[in-house]
């Protein structure tokens, strides 16, 4: 079942449209004997190389997103441990309050990362508000017997969390250049049709019922190319929860991590 689910993610209407166009063009070229031996290396230069480059860039952004999210979790865990373990006379309610505020912070972070980029400003503001709330909370621990140096360390953790959040914002807002994406999508549709004379030339080697195998070549050709483009599209935003490889902020696991 997982295999079919993953295959579903790399196929869409574009896959069927480009495949249908390539098959129709090939049929016309076979019918009217339009043959040409076009160099396949041109496909690598015009389509495969740019698409693979975009996939590598998107994958690198995803990996950086994972690093930044791990940093956010680590800094907040350090913040929580200082707040819970270091005060001399900690009120148990303060520990619960600290945990709740951290959960609120990650909940707002999750909402931001899964939001639409055009509507994300309000969610980003919510994250900044929760950071401020935790900053003010750390000062209240002085009356609980927490040393001033520990409060300073908590402020450092919040600052580093803010830096990691800014890195995730850059990944969220800035992705593959629009020109490169447009270039890849245009040639992805045009090239399978332009190569129809080449497919027709290969079909001339078949006869009888075997000629139907000549349509298998453009079909596989287009499915492979469009699937690569769909993979790049899925990796484009590693936080949108559409693909199976997206980065997920699991608030429940963070809740379990914050042991009193």
**pLDDT at site 3:** 59
Q: Are 229 and 168 within one domain?
A: no
Q: What does the mean pLDDT of the chain come to?
A: 89
Q: Are 250 and 143 within one domain?
A: yes
Is the model more confident about 201 or about 125? 125
Q: Are 136 and 214 within one domain?
A: no
Q: Are 140 and 252 within one domain?
A: yes
According to the per-residue pLDDT averaged within each range, which of 36-45, 146-155, 217-226 is highest?
146-155
**Percent of the chain surpassing pLDDT 70:** 95
Contact indicator for 91, 256 with CB cutoff of 8 Å = no
**pLDDT at site 46:** 81
**pLDDT at site 24:** 94
| Structural domains in the chain (count) | 2
The answer to whether residue 46 sits within a structural domain is no
Q: Are 170 and 76 within one domain?
A: yes
> Mean pLDDT, to the nearest integer, of 143-167?
96
- Quick one: CA torsion of 121, 253, 3, 19, rounded to 10 degrees? 0
Q: Are 157 and 182 within one domain?
A: no
The answer to whether residue 150 sits within a structural domain is yes
- Whole-model pTM: value is 0.87
Owning domain of residue 146: 69-175+246-257
Contacts of 96 (CB under 8 A, 6+ apart): 260
Neighbours of 152 (CB within 10 A): 10
**pLDDT at site 210:** 63
Q: Are 156 and 84 within one domain?
A: yes
Q: Point out the least confidently predicted range of 126-130, 157-161, 210-214.
A: 210-214
The answer to whether residue 41 sits within a structural domain is no
Instruction: Look at residue 50 and tell me whether its pLDDT is greater than 80.
Output: yes
CB-side exposure of 203: number of CA atoms within 13 Å? 29
Q: Are 170 and 75 within one domain?
A: yes
Q: Are 149 and 205 within one domain?
A: no
Q: Are 145 and 203 within one domain?
A: no
The whole-angstrom separation of Cα 219 and Cα 8 is 17
Q: Point out the least confidently predicted range of 60-74, 137-151, 205-219, 223-237.
A: 205-219
**Percent of the chain surpassing pLDDT 90:** 54
Instruction: Look at residue 63 and tell me whether its pLDDT is greater than 70.
Output: yes
């Amino acid at each position: 079942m997982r295999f079919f689910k993953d295959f579903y993610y790399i196929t869409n209407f574009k896959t069927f449209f480009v495949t249908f166009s390539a098959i129709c063009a090939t049929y016309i070229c076979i019918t009217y004997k339009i043959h040409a031996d076009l160099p396949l290396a041109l496909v690598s230069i015009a389509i495969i190389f740019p698409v693979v480059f975009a996939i590598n860039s998107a994958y690198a952004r995803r990996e950086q997103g994972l690093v930044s999210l791990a940093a956010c979790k680590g800094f907040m865990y350090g913040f929580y441990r200082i707040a819970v373990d270091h005060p001399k006379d900690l009120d148990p309610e303060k520990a619960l309050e600290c945990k709740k505020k951290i959960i609120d912070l990650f909940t707002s972070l999750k909402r931001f990362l899964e939001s639409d980029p055009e509507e994300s400003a309000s969610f980003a503001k919510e994250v900044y508000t929760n950071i401020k709330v935790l900053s003010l909370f750390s000062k209240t621990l002085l009356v609980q017997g927490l040393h001033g140096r520990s409060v300073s360390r908590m402020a450092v953790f919040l600052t580093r969390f803010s830096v990691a959040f800014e890195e995730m914002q850059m990944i969220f807002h800035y992705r593959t250049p629009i020109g490169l994406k447009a270039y890849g999508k245009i040639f992805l549709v045009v090239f399978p049709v332009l190569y129809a004379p080449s497919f027709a030339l290969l079909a001339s080697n078949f006869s009888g019922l075997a000629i139907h195998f000549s349509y298998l070549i453009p079909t596989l050709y287009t499915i492979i190319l469009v699937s690569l483009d769909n993979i790049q599209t899925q990796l484009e935003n590693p936080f949108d929860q559409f693909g199976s490889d997206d980065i997920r902020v699991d608030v429940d696991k963070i809740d379990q991590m914050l042991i009193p």
